[in-house]
A = this chain, B = another copy of it.
Amino acid sequence: MQNFTHAIPTKLHFGKGVIEKLDESLRPFGKNVLLTYGGGSIKKIGLYDQVMDILSKGGYKVVECGGIEPNPRIESVERGVQLCKEHGINVILAVGGGSTIDCSKAIAAGVYYEGDLWQMVESRHGVLPALPLVDILTLSATGSEYDGGGVISNMKLNKKLGNMYTFPAVSICDPTYTFTVSAYHTAAGTADIISHICEDYFSRTEDSDLADGICETVLKSAIKNLPTALREPDNYSARANLMSISSIACSGIPAYGKRDTCWDCHSMEHELSAYYDITHGVGLAILTPRWMRHILKKDPTCTWRFVRFAKNVWGLDGENETELALAGIQKLEDFFRASGIPMTLTELGIGTEHFEAMAAHANRGGFLAHAFVALTTEDVVEIYKACL
């Protein structure tokens, strides 16, 4: 077990009707609220009106910053920061999924950042001084409601970069807000959760019982509850389980005491989204089984971990370890496909044209040499090709 530091100051209010905590969550911070949201789905489900009603009754002054993109862009961060400065905003209220929350984190930190905001996104730093952030979650996926990170894109530069900004002060997580999430985004969101776990689970550390047990629990819960949520979109139990595992998957607890967790697939996927603006979870679903097969072949000493995955997550068994390992990977790929996720880059209209550049950037600084199985830029190109 390796050393670690764990600290999440976020308060989670979880369950049906917990929006009743909104006023008390905002009140300590002040009355000037920047309300951030995405493409307007919160209006369709009546959440926008409900929020505005609470804010109006509470005497808050609201400035709106809607239209935040699914892969949120630096221009939205800049717009949000400007609104905060112009209107003396005291607290940001993000209503949406991971993209809206990620962007709001960067806005919150951007208000106090001296210098160019893209530089803030690109430079290495930890948690930054920031405006307080409260969020209302509407998608079970990124776990942004329970971590300090965010991912911001610059489409002009074909860059999508994760960084630390700030933790939400309060996250309001009501699974009923995900009842209307489309099958496509429910599946993609669950693929994101599964990927977060796989990034931590596939590690050489053998003795982190708590981390590995939580990883297997989250994976089994995702595998159990996604089909139910797809079949019965308003099944509270399935939606609640997906929401609770989305938060824990990014909490750092599944990585307690682990080494060599480089989040390889996230590095590779960020390039896909940066070049083609695809849905993050879809890119991860496509990449993950191909990455698994590639590293299993490249370094058979990691087979034991795949055997554990096959046995403990998929309930498989067998004599031949390599076959068992491959069977577990196939199960995962089949699961994603059965959930309706397009499982090739070709289906998304993506060809080989940028693979070299994308691979070079995914492995900038030789970063992926520190992964569970060290990857070279050539490996990354091979993995992209296997996704065609």
0 or 1 for each of A210-225: is its CB under 8 Å from B? (1 = yes): 1011101110110011
Say which one of A14-22, A93-101, A113-121, A338-346 lies at the interface with B. A14-22
Q: Inside 8 A of A106's CB, which chain B residues have their CB?
A: none
Minimum Cβ distance to chain B for residue A300 (Å): 25
Which of A21, A212, A213 has the most chain B CB atoms closer than 10 A to its own CB?
A213
Asked if B5 and A11 sit within 8 Å, CB to CB, the answer is: yes
CB interface residues, A 160-218, toward B, < 8 Å: 207-210, 212-214, 216-218
Asked if A5 and B1 sit within 8 Å, CB to CB, the answer is: no
Question: Does A227 touch B at the CB level, under 8 Å?
Answer: no
Expressed in whole angstroms, the Cα–Cα distance for A187 and B361 within the complex equals 51
Question: Does A237 touch B at the CB level, under 8 Å?
Answer: yes
Asked if A207 and B1 sit within 8 Å, CB to CB, the answer is: no
Partner of A207, one of B15, B210, B217, B241: B241
Asked if A3 and B9 sit within 8 Å, CB to CB, the answer is: no
Given contacts A209-B224, A214-B213, A214-B217, A241 and B1 within 8 Å (CB-CB): yes
Q: Inside 8 A of A4's CB, which chain B residues have their CB?
A: 12, 14-15
Question: Does A306 touch B at the CB level, under 8 Å?
Answer: no
Asked if B6 and A12 sit within 8 Å, CB to CB, the answer is: yes
Given contacts A209-B217, A213-B213, A241-B210, A253 and B248 within 8 Å (CB-CB): yes
Partner of A14, one of B3, B17, B214, B241: B3
Question: Does A331 touch B at the CB level, under 8 Å?
Answer: no
Partner of A1, one of B2, B212, B244: B244
Question: Does A66 touch B at the CB level, under 8 Å?
Answer: no
Minimum Cβ distance to chain B for residue A19 (Å): 12
CB interface residues, A 255-301, toward B, < 8 Å: 256-257
Asked if A240 and B220 sit within 8 Å, CB to CB, the answer is: no
Q: Inside 8 A of A21's CB, which chain B residues have their CB?
A: 5
Question: Does A8 touch B at the CB level, under 8 Å?
Answer: yes
Asked if A209 and B236 sit within 8 Å, CB to CB, the answer is: no
Q: Inside 8 A of A9's CB, which chain B residues have their CB?
A: 7, 9
Minimum Cβ distance to chain B for residue A171 (Å): 10
Asked if B3 and A12 sit within 8 Å, CB to CB, the answer is: no
Residues of A within 8 A of B (CB): 1-18, 21, 207-210, 212-214, 216-218, 220-221, 224-225, 236-237, 240-241, 244-245, 248, 253, 256-257
Known contacts A5-B13, A9-B9; 12 additional CB pairs below 8 A are: A1-B240, A3-B13, A3-B16, A3-B17, A3-B18, A6-B12, A14-B257, A15-B257, A207-B237, A209-B217, A209-B220, A214-B217
